[in-house]
Chains A and B, each alone.
Chain A
Amino acid sequence: MHRDHELHGRRRSRNFGLLGVLLAFIVIIFGVTVVKIRTGGFSEGFDHVARPSALPAEEVSQ
């Protein structure tokens, strides 16, 4: 099949769409990770880690 077969043209938009979805997925995973680490939800209650939910509001904000 020739490189510029019209099939490639038709698939191009689909491939770019998929690329967009994958990039969005990466951004979401990154965002969720940042938020989870900042809020301490992951590590809360585990070994030697403070529990933000058990601290007074002033200490959490510090």
Chain B
Amino acid sequence: MSAEPIKFYQVGSFAVGNRLLDITERSAQSDPSRPNSINSGHRACQGCGEALGARYALDAAMRATAGDMVAVNATGCLEVFSTPYPETSWQIPWLHSLFGNAPAVATGVAAAMKVKGRETRVVGQAGDGGTVDIGMGALSGMFERNDDVLFICYDNEAYMNTGVQRSGATPPAARTATTQAVGDHPGNVFGQGKDLPRIAMAHEIPYVATATVANLRDLEAKVEKAMQMRGARYIHVLVPCPLGWGSASKDTILLARLAMESGLFPVFEAEYGEVTSVLPVRRRVPVTEYLRLQKRYAHLFHPEPDASTLERLQAMADRNFRRYDIQEVDV
């Protein structure tokens, strides 16, 4: 577990009672003088997981680098909702070039900083389409060269910016605009999809981690840890998308937590290709608890429950529990 094992005082929910903590133990986000790397007024949807994830990740990176940082962004929701010209939500130096080249652009910025003898660090960011599909060649190249870039993927499991089409990160059975809930096997097919954290680990880069917006303290800690390291680093953050998932805006954090607690999205860290820590779950839940809240899986429950598909999805979750040895710990 990357975050300090602090016993939090609960306030009737799973939220962290930050104000009861010593100031040195508080999150970057609780700091009234936090940088607000992406500030309010942007045009993300209500309940957007990506806006939340980016805010926490970048503010944590800013804290870790004492504000000496540049962000590079792929095309996608995050880019579109944050910079409707002439406005911008970015309070940090920020560059957007194309959809598929953010890792290479980040390499270029890092090379420029190095050649100029500056300590300025670089964070690249993209959605799952920009990371696992169209940007994968550039990302793999950046990993392989071990360029000094932290790349963050905000994974909402489809191309949400263009209207919810399937990506290489879309899970099996999920309905998208290009994997419609029709025919004998409604939704996305089984057996496809890229597990980018594991692909990143295969490059044996210094640091790979996954996180969700359900555990923002963990996300912050992982970003801060990554920024203490040099070379290619990768963090894959699950960010629920109310629009694309057909979920209630209020359920974004709940869904992220259920994704983890069901085992469908294991949260772990790896260094140089080996898993070094796995976040335990407070209580293990069946996948149906997670799936039921999302309209993209409605065809698994209506008109009749699709028992065999649900079983296959449960088997995937169970395999993650085994593969990562995810513990149940009631903290």
Q: Do A and B make up one complex?
A: no
| B interface, CB within 8 angstroms of A | none
Q: Interface on A for B, CB 8 Å cutoff? A: none
